[in-house]
Every structure is written in C-alpha cells, then in structure tokens.
Structure 1
Amino acid sequence: LEPEDFLVEEMLGFEPAGAGEHVLLKVRKRAANTLWVARELARLAGCRPVDVGYAGLKDRHAVAVQWFTVPRRGRAVAQWPGAGGEGFEVLEAHAHARKLPRGALAGNRFRIRVRGLEPPTEALDARLRAIRARGVPNYFGPQRFGRHGSNLRDLPEDPGALRGGERGFVLSAARSLVFNAVLAERVRQGCWEALQPGDRAILDGRGSHFAVEALDETLRQRAARLEIHPTGPLWGRGTPGAAGAVLELETRVAGGYSRACALIEAAAMDPQ
C-alpha cells in the first residue's frame, strides 16, 4: 500500500478571521505523523510545540491535508506558503484570531483506493447501495489505541501517573475502547443504526444532539434519511446522556471494562 491510497482532507467549519495573533496553516503531509509536523511547525515559527494548534490527529500512512495554527511572530503570514520539510508543505496561510482547538472541524473528506478486489459487480453494487442507505458503524479505528494497542497497555489506577501528552492519548483510548464495545453489542443485536427511546440522537454533520424520549414517525423517517443518528457513550463521571434500556445496555457492557472506566472517572472527565 502507498500513502496515496488513503487521502483525507479536513474541512473547517469556519472562515479564517483574517486578523489576529495566530496564523492558520493549511498543510499537506505525506507519510508523516501529525505530532512530528506540529513540532516542525513550532521550530519554523520559533514557538513551543504546545503553542501549535490542530483539530485532530491524522493517519501517518496517508496523504492528509489538515489545518494547524502557530503564533504570529517573526515569520510574516505571506512567508508561510511553500514552507515545510520532509513529508509536509504549507499550502495556505491566513491570519487568525485564536489557537485552533481540538475537534474544530465540520468533517473530513476521504478518498480510498482499494487494490486487488475482484468481487462480482452485482455484489459490489449491492453493498454500496446498502452503505448509502444505512451508513456504517462508526467505530474508533486502531490508530486511536496506539501501535499494537500501546495506549491501553498497563492502564494505571491513578491518572496522575500519566505524564505529559501520554495522559490525553491514554484517556482517549480508554473511552474509545468502551464506546467500541457498546457499538459492537448494538451491532450484534442488530440495532446500531436504529433510534431507540433513551438514545441521544445527533444531527448529521453537526455537533447538536438531543434526547430521544419517545419515538414517533417523524423521528423514524429522519433516521431513515440519515438526517439524525443514534450516538454511543464517551464514558465519564456524572450523569450519563442515555436513559432507560439504552443506558442499561451501555452500563452492562461498560462493566466488562471496569479498569478503563475507573481511570476515566478518576480523571474527572464528563460523560458525553
């Protein structure tokens, strides 16, 4: 496989401010790690790596176009396009008002090249039609758990034992582990894409969500059109988002991952 077989482009949910103390950079990277690119941008900007903002991590084994911010210091905005290093290049630069926070995206656009696949045409068409009609279960991928699952190895009881950037990676992996387990159970039960009373539904392409207290025909039709979707738990300490039978399922499944849940709760992370 080549990095060009997997292309991903971040889509911002806002326009650059055009003024401010930061520079918003559109960067293309090939076979490069997001954190390494962030460190290189910090070196070019003359700032600390912690001052570099990015919305999320992108696969190393890919060609990715993603956004970063750096403090607006010695290098003028107009000097950034074309800057770069091994495996990455700055495509655009815009003055911006603030550091780019995690998750500040409207979404990601993917292009995937599949090699060596020779299924019967009718079977492939049928599968693609099913995906268009129902979507796919949205599991967290293996990169969330680190190389060979290293982010989940030897989970501590005390989150204070996690140092620096390790803390965020481990806690995120622990929450993703529980989420995937709940999703797998809903897939097993055949209800992963069906809204149920007690779910929290999310609007397609947006962060807005709401509690499903009762199902009516309007909600069913909106779900069938993929305008809204059921969500799964990002575990935390406090009042959960789900209710009723959905909450019972989530709690039962999470009980099989008590060490991960205990670590998340000890870190005082809010449920989502």
Structure 2
Amino acid sequence: MPDWRRAGGLPSTTATIRSQPEDFRVSEVMELEFSGDGEHDWLLLEKTANNTLWIARQLARFAGIPLRDVGYSGLKDRHAVTTQWFSVRRARGQDHAWTDFRLDGVVMLQCVRHCRKLRRGTHRANRFELTLRNVTDDPRPALERIAASGVPNYFGEQRFGHGGGNVLLARRLFAGQRLKREQRSLALSAARSLIFNDVLDARLEAGNWDVLLPGDIASLEGSNSHFPVEVVDETLVERCRQFDVHPSGPLWGRNGQADARSEVERQVLARHADFVAALERHGDAARRSLRVCIHELETDYSGDTLTLKFTLQSGSFATAVLREIAVCNDASRESAVA
C-alpha cells in the first residue's frame, strides 16, 4: 500500500507499538438508554487478542442463531485489548445462559436486554490508551502540533488487510468473482478507502487538506451532515479554524458524481476509473471528513516510553494519529511471522 503523506512530514521519532496487547487499548463510547426488555441481549465484552468477527461467530454458535442475528457497531483491532458491545437475538422462547459463556481472552462486563439489534456505526467515538516503547527522539513537538491542528483522517492500514489483501479482494469481486458476505464487505470498504486516502494525499501535497476551498463539500464536526461550499468567506474560514467544519472527501458509490466538483477529486477518480465504475453498482456514495480532531488528549513521556490517551470520532483510526508522531514498528506483525 502507498505510504501516504503526513501533515508534519516524516517524523524523526521512532517507536515500537503493540509489544503486547495491553499496549493498545480501545473502548467504545456509546450513549444509549436500554429498554430493559425485548428480543436482543446486549453484551459488553472486553476481549484480548481476538478480532470482532471471530467473537461474533462464537456468540452466534453459543446462542444457536445465524451470524446475521449478531450485531456490533464497529470492527476492532485483534492485537489489542478492546471493550465493545455486541447484540445477540434471542431465539423464540429461549433465554441464553450468558453466565455459562466461556471464551479465552474474553471477559463479559455487562449484559442487558434491549428491543433493537446493535447496528454498525452506533457508537459515537472510541477512547484509546496506547503505550509506545523504545521511543527515540522527543515526540512532544509533534504532540503539540497534532493537539492544535488535528491529523489527516486516513483509513488505517488494517482497512486494507495484510499486504493490501482486501484491495485484491475488491479486484476479484469487480471482475465477477463471488465472495462470501464478510469478504464482500471488506473488499468494498477497502476500495472506497483507497480512493479516499488518495484524495486526502493529493490535498496534503497541495497544502490545503485542512482548509475549505470553493467547490468543496464541507463536513460538520460530530455529525453526518454536509453542505456544498460555493464561496469561502471569513465566517467559513473561522468555523474551519475552530474545527466546527472540515473539508471532506468521497466514499464512492451511486450518485457520487454530484459531489465530485473539485479538480483534485476528479483527477484521483480518473486514476481509479475501474473502482469508480464498479462501486457505483455497490451502494450509495457518502462523504468523510479529511481532518479529524483529537479530543481529551493526555500524554506521559518518561524515559523511552510514551503513553497516550485520547478520543476519536467513530470511524477514525488511532494509527492515523500515531503516524504523525513517530515511525512505528508494529511488534504484533513480528510475532505473527514468528
């Protein structure tokens, strides 16, 4: 996969991440009021070194239901300690004895009943606690910069699979090969994410990734609302400076042409003409902010260890933050190879 541009250039700091799963902690931030009854059990699980889809399969097997009746809001890293919600539909007239559910690396923190299935994208944000080890050079200047300016909202490399495997899946899908439902979802997400990242990279090259331009589609902070920018006046400049609005990029699909008004987007879309044409047959277009704010940032730098705590809106990747701070060696890859 490409080594997309960074806002601050290549960091002089280097570090090791994921030396152990406990070095990468993620918790969903979800604001819900549970009904207390209904046909769905909602389970808050803390899982270590397990991926979301595998956990969902184990829950479905335990409950004796199809996988499609298990819900989760987002996919979480495998090489991490993550806390996230799942929903499991109750089979008619059946109660699940969740006190009997046992799975290595999984702790059940809460179980409540609710009238609805958990849908993708329900959680508002993710809270991260990351430990970087073997840190060289002082990372504090970069930390000050990203706290003040945010970071490019790239999709993380995990979206594309090991060695870009999910992009290859997309090419197979678009060539007419039938894929399993899970593979199809991964392939489509990877194709959309590749186009978005290339648009963001082009804006970084032009030096305008974090400002609004005429012809942009502006994204409102903390919402899925967007509006076209015809003229960039002082009010819009100030709103962008205050992180109230951001420039956005395409998540390509049907009707995407109506929003592709900037020359940068048109150039990138032309480079991916095969993906663009195929994605128009697989779901509607959407937009994603080119910039993401880092909320509630806490740092502790001592010796050669840096601990970070911060919150990102759902859908944004902690690795997009880390790549602005340090060139990171991911120890989990080495252990996987070994």
Q: Same fold (TM over 0.5)?
A: yes
Find the aligned partners of 2:141 and 2:156 in 1 and give their Cα distance: 25
Query: Is the Cα–Cα contact under 8 Å of residues 50 and 105 in structure 2 kept in the other structure?
Result: yes
Query: Is the Cα–Cα contact under 8 Å of residues 81 and 92 in structure 1 kept in the other structure?
Result: no
The CA deviation at 1:243 is 5.2
**3-state DSSP of counterpart to 1:113:** strand
Match of 1:20 among 19, 38, 42: 38
Match of 1:130 among 145, 158, 170: 145
**3-state DSSP of counterpart to 2:199:** helix
The CA deviation at 1:146 is 1.5
Structure 2: gaps of 5 or more residues: 1-18, 287-338
Distance 1:17 1:262, change over 3 A: same
Find the aligned partners of 2:106 and 2:66 in 1 and give their Cα distance: 19
Query: Is the Cα–Cα contact under 8 Å of residues 250 and 256 in structure 2 kept in the other structure?
Result: no
1:38-63 CA-partner distances (Å, limit 9, x unpaired) = 01111222211121001111110111
- In structure 2, the residue matched to 1:75 is 95
Find the aligned partners of 1:81 and 1:199 in 2 and give their Cα distance: 52
**3-state DSSP of counterpart to 1:19:** coil
Farther-moved stretch of structure 1 (233-242 vs 126-135)? 233-242
Query: Is the Cα–Cα contact under 8 Å of residues 159 and 167 in structure 1 kept in the other structure?
Result: no
Find the aligned partners of 1:241 and 1:31 in 2 and give their Cα distance: 42
Q: Which has the higher contact order (CA 8 A, sep 6+)?
A: 2
Find the aligned partners of 1:206 and 1:185 in 2 and give their Cα distance: 25
Match of 1:96 among 105, 114, 122: 114
Query: Is the Cα–Cα contact under 8 Å of residues 158 and 263 in structure 1 kept in the other structure?
Result: no
Find the aligned partners of 2:105 and 2:30 in 1 and give their Cα distance: 22
TM-score (norm: length of structure 2): 0.73
- In structure 1, the residue matched to 2:221 is 204
- In structure 2, the residue matched to 1:184 is 201
Find the aligned partners of 1:93 and 1:25 in 2 and give their Cα distance: 5
Query: Is the Cα–Cα contact under 8 Å of residues 10 and 105 in structure 1 kept in the other structure?
Result: yes
TM-score (norm: length of structure 1): 0.90
Farther-moved stretch of structure 1 (148-157 vs 187-196)? 148-157
Aligned residue type for 2:198: A
Structure 1: gaps of 5 or more residues: none
- In structure 2, the residue matched to 1:38 is 56
Find the aligned partners of 2:177 and 2:233 in 1 and give their Cα distance: 46
**Mapping for residues 103-118 of structure 1, pairs under 5 Å:** 103-118=121-136
Q: Name the Cα RMSD after superposition.
A: 2.0
Aligned length: 264
The CA deviation at 1:165 is 1.9
- In structure 2, the residue matched to 1:213 is 230
The CA deviation at 1:117 is 1.0
The CA deviation at 1:211 is 2.3
Aligned residue type for 2:43: L
Farther-moved stretch of structure 1 (7-16 vs 185-194)? 7-16
The CA deviation at 1:160 is 6.4
Query: Is the Cα–Cα contact under 8 Å of residues 195 and 201 in structure 1 kept in the other structure?
Result: yes
Is 1:258 the counterpart of 2:273? The answer is yes
**3-state DSSP of counterpart to 1:207:** coil
The CA deviation at 1:239 is 4.3
**Mapping for residues 229-240 of structure 1, pairs under 5 Å:** 229-240=246-257
Aligned residue type for 2:48: R
Find the aligned partners of 1:140 and 1:119 in 2 and give their Cα distance: 26
Find the aligned partners of 2:106 and 2:135 in 1 and give their Cα distance: 31
The CA deviation at 1:111 is 1.3
**3-state DSSP of counterpart to 1:165:** helix
The CA deviation at 1:82 is 8.0
Find the aligned partners of 2:245 and 2:98 in 1 and give their Cα distance: 40
Is 1:119 the counterpart of 2:137? The answer is yes
Distance 1:91 1:240, change over 3 A: farther
Find the aligned partners of 2:100 and 2:221 in 1 and give their Cα distance: 35
Query: Is the Cα–Cα contact under 8 Å of residues 26 and 65 in structure 1 kept in the other structure?
Result: yes
